[in-house]
Structure 1
């Protein structure tokens, strides 16, 4: 199957786009740009409520948060939607809380780092990355959110230009599930809901591998994107509903 015939979420370059800010894709005569992550320009939205993520055990000294956030999960117990307030970053709603993070905000709140060493912290960090990538003003700093590796080095040396998302394709987080969790590395499967362009009405599973490095959760990616490929969804069955718009 040619690249043009593949669904947009399976094209190798789109997978990279999903994990770092890059150039637009063109397929079927309609551009699918990094603006696929764009959302409504709301200020905030009320988040769902549930018990906060627990602290599974005492935190090893080597696992402390770079900004001093407390909390440490040795295993995942995030089985309901965590309590969150929602803030638009770029054009995407992202969850935030005092316990899970972000613990450090910069550039008028559009670039956030430092999330708790918990399953909730990993979830919030993964959504925050997607939101940060929708604001082209973050393009020269996105490498800071990646785990160590060649891709991080490449982006640091040559930041990618932003996109205005003029094709009208947008997406928001609709749900999540934790596919695997350890204090060193976890896979957060984010369900994204798309509107506009050729992706209108599409639900897509976007698994993001998060690694604990230098006191924060970082996105694991290489030139082919995430280690786990995205896929189309027919429903949110199996996912925990979680959204801010």
Structure 2
């Protein structure tokens, strides 16, 4: 039902020009998952040329299990929808964004960029949605885009707008107003695809946005929309009962 309502209210045209994005830009800028959107609406000059992406760990050959070399996770939960957040979650900072990290859900590899190796479970998809979006606003984002976004027109559009923003994607954010991730809901999950909704909170209240992911080459990747957006238009949330709340 959530997705049906979203489709009915979808606006046409580039996403950074849509009225819904403009109305909610302030909120999403605080979470810094907007990446290029923040810069396009906050005066990025687009003068810097994007550096060629450095080959990362997801560019190499896969093991017999179909995972990147060095990636091992407990996937026993499969695509079962989580009933609670993992008890082993800790919170780490990427840029100005605090993201969940779990020994069971991933990412188990957090040295350098990108952070990777998420469990092949619904909870792994949830954590990947937080971590990957946060990395796209930070140095090394080119490697993140190449290795953790599904290839296609959506990725090309995201890369184009992110290049225009240069390194301004996370500059000028008032840290005292940064929103925090408050919870999540798995809208759907199979062995090859997942859709998750992220609950965010700041002084203005709660809002949510959904992110689509695909299991590809042994890890979760984000599937951008054709517009280049990594997530849906944010929605105000009055009742948080449909979300699992993070335990910290």
TM-score when normalising by structure 1: 0.68
Which residue is equivalent to 2:39?
24
Asked if 1:184 is matched to 2:186, the reply is no
Q: CA deviation at 1:141?
A: 2.2
Q: CA deviation at 1:7?
A: 5.6
1:239 shift after superposition: 0.8
Shift, 1:120, TM fit: 1.3
Which of 117, 120, 133 is the matching residue for 1:117? 120
* Deviation of the 1:125 alpha carbon: 0.7
Q: Is the 8 A contact 1:209 1:220 kept in 2?
A: yes
In the other structure, the counterpart of 1:139 is: 141
Distance 2:167 2:223 in 1: 21
Counting only pairs closer than 5 Å after superposition, residues 40-119 of structure 1 correspond to structure 2 as 64-66=66-68, 67-83=71-87, 84-107=89-112, 111-119=114-122
1:229 Cα deviation from its structure 2 partner: 3.7
Unaligned runs of 5+ residues in structure 1 are 34-60, 195-199
Q: Residue 201 of structure 2 corresponds to which residue in structure 1?
A: 193
CA shift, 1:146, in A, is 0.5
- Give the TM-score normalised by the residue count of structure 2: 0.67
Question: Once superposed, what is the RMSD of the aligned Cα atoms?
Answer: 3.5
- Residues 50-78 of structure 1 show CA distances to partners (whole Å, capped at 9, x for unaligned) of xxxxxxxxxxx997432132314443230
**2:94–2:135 contact (8 Å) kept in structure 1:** yes
Equivalent residue for 2:179?
Answer: 171
Please say if residues 9 and 232 of structure 1, whose CA atoms lie closer than 8 Å, have aligned partners that are also in contact: no
C-alpha displacement of 1:154: 5.3
- Matched with 1:55 is none
Aligned residue for 1:37? none
Looking at secondary structure, tell me which structure has more strand per residue. 1
The answer for unaligned runs of 5 or more in structure 2 is: 1-10, 45-62
Deviation at 1:142, TM superposition (A): 2.8
Q: Which of 115, 125, 129 is the aligned partner of 1:126?
A: 129
CA gap 1:5/1:202 in 2 versus in 1, 3 angstroms: farther
1:188 Cα offset (Å): 0.9
In 1, Cα distance between equivalents of 2:43 and 2:238: 20
* Structure 2 equivalent of residue 36 of structure 1: none
User: What is the CA–CA distance in structure 2 between the aligned matches of 1:158 and 1:131, rounded to whole Å?
Assistant: 16
How far does residue 98 in structure 1 lie from its aligned partner after superposition?
2.0
Q: Deviations over 1:107-137 (max 9, x none)?
A: 2xx63011010111111111112322342x1
Q: 1:187 to 1:5 in 2, by over 3 A?
A: closer
Q: CA deviation at 1:145?
A: 1.6
Does the Cα contact within 8 Å between 2:33 and 2:134 map onto a contact in 1? no
